Amino acid sequence: SLLTSSYVFHKIELATPIGNLRLCMWFLEGFEVDVARLPAEQADIETMSTNSAEKNDSNTYWEFSPSGEYTVPTESMDVVRVRSRFLGFLHRLTQGEKKKESPLDPTDDLLSLSGERLTKAVPAPDWEQAATLFEQRVRPWLETETPSTSVVFYVAPPYSGREEILRHWAGANKVSVLKEPTTEAILGDSSKWLRAWPRKGPWVLPQLERCFLRHASGLGLVRELLSGMMSGDLGRGIVGCDSWAWAYLQHVLPNRSSFTLSAKAFDAQRLQELFSENIFDQHGLRARFRQADNGAYLFPERQEGDDVDAADGFWRGLAARSRGNVGVAGAYWKRALRTLPEKELGEQEAESRQSELEQAKPGYAASRHAASRQSKWATIWVTPWEDMLQPALPKGSGESELFVLQALLLHGGLSEVGLKRTLPFDRASITEVLHFLAEREFVARTDGRWYVTAYGYPTVRAALKTSDYLCDEF
């Protein structure tokens, strides 16, 4: 694709008439769309059916479909950069416009957004809405007297909201939520845990990945559990399972297939729409997001004349890097947000901004006139995607680090004791590896368990895939 792009650049240098330039611009746009559709890993995935992809309303971002229809946004970083920079050049050449410069002063030092301001600027997704849409998807199955399967598996990658959606759905429908078994039950006698299973459904088991260990004695419970689910002996229910655990269980316990659902991957447009919901600044007013290098608006405040492709390049890069995973995208989005050093806005300016916002059209931060008068200290500045730091495993990383990372992913997180049970390393070595990875933000500990971080996940997955480790299909 880069070789062909170079050829296109060369041809355009020779095409001096404006008409030919516009023709080449059209050709390049079409060419890059084709390049974006050449992912070898997902080439054989069928297109989602019209009925399952149809949205219920304009504010619906969550769509659920069979897991086999999951399609990862695949536009490469090279395509994002070529498209953004080259089409911007052609646009300025044909329209006689100059490249927009940053509205910031070169001496302005941007700081990472944190605390309450970060919380207001990046609120949690609306899990209730997602649970409602999940309910619409599974309701026909729940209302069928004799369904073809008694269990539906909700399979999803880490940080994509699977557990939150299932727990919100269970709470709204007063459905029993089953607790995970203890380590003793997994490795020893599981009869007590299984006897407590509610025979009348529906029920929800949010984390199947917590029901086994990759250990010689760690698969008995999950084998018995899946057998009871497939036979219908455990009643009707919904099982949540991490995509990595699902890949492992499909490998060690074949022929255990059932109906699986997943949330559709978030592409660039849907990420932009999702992150534009309920965003506020430190004064409780709708926040304004602009790209730091050229002032481009990241959300619908932008109007005719803005460098639209400059902002769109950020969302395309974010969707590709996160593989459509809303939690991973959120981690990178938070890191991209910047602010100038705190300065108090005077009461008069705050009152003026409030008055202007009240007169603005519904759904927008303010009119362009009002927005232009807002202080640059009230704006949230976004790091351009090409300037975002992408974590890389250090050169000193080896098989020990990859073994630990894969074990954490397969089990949805593990304690140090759990890692020792599943890996052929002593605890001191495991602790050393964990702290080595934690210093580089690839893992973190929460409530006694270690997890691969959302920020480090894309790099970790790519490293495991390159080294031929068992990986998920998401």
Res. 362: pLDDT tops 60: no
**Residue 242, phi then psi, degrees to nearest 5:** -65, 145
- Domain-ending residue, one of 257, 276, 306: 257
Is 234 inside any structural domain? yes
Is 130 inside any structural domain? no
The more confident residue out of 68 and 43 is: 68
| Domain that residue 456 falls in | 399-466
Is 334 inside any structural domain? no
Q: Is the peptide bond before 202 cis (omega within 30 degrees of 0)?
A: yes
- Domain-ending residue, one of 235, 257, 279: 257
Lowest mean pLDDT among 178-192, 222-236, 272-286: 272-286
| pLDDT reported for residue 117 | 84
What CATH number corresponds to the domain at position 407? 1.10.10.10
User: Which of 18-27, 94-103, 306-315, 379-388 holds the top average pLDDT?
Assistant: 379-388
Is 440 inside any structural domain? yes
Is 74 inside any structural domain? no
Is 108 inside any structural domain? no
Average pLDDT over residues 429-445: 96
- The alpha helices in 110-208, defined as continuous H runs, are 115-121, 127-143, 162-173, 183-187, 191-195
Per-residue pLDDT tens over the stretch 237-293 = 999 999 999 999 999 987 666 789 999 999 999 999 999 887 866 666 677 899 988
Average pLDDT over residues 202-229: 94
| pLDDT reported for residue 281 | 61
Res. 376: pLDDT tops 90: no
Task: Report the phi/psi class of residue 158: left, alpha or beta, with left for phi > 0 and alpha for psi in -120 to 50.
Answer: beta
Is 428 inside any structural domain? yes
| pLDDT reported for residue 209 | 97
Number of domains observed in the structure of the chain = 2
Average pLDDT over residues 170-185: 93
| pLDDT reported for residue 148 | 86
List the strands of the sheet with 203-205, edge to edge: 64-66, 259-263, 151-156, 237-242, 203-205, 176-177
Lowest mean pLDDT among 26-30, 292-296, 330-334, 345-349: 26-30
- Domain-ending residue, one of 212, 228, 257: 257
Is 201 inside any structural domain? yes
Average pLDDT over residues 292-296: 86
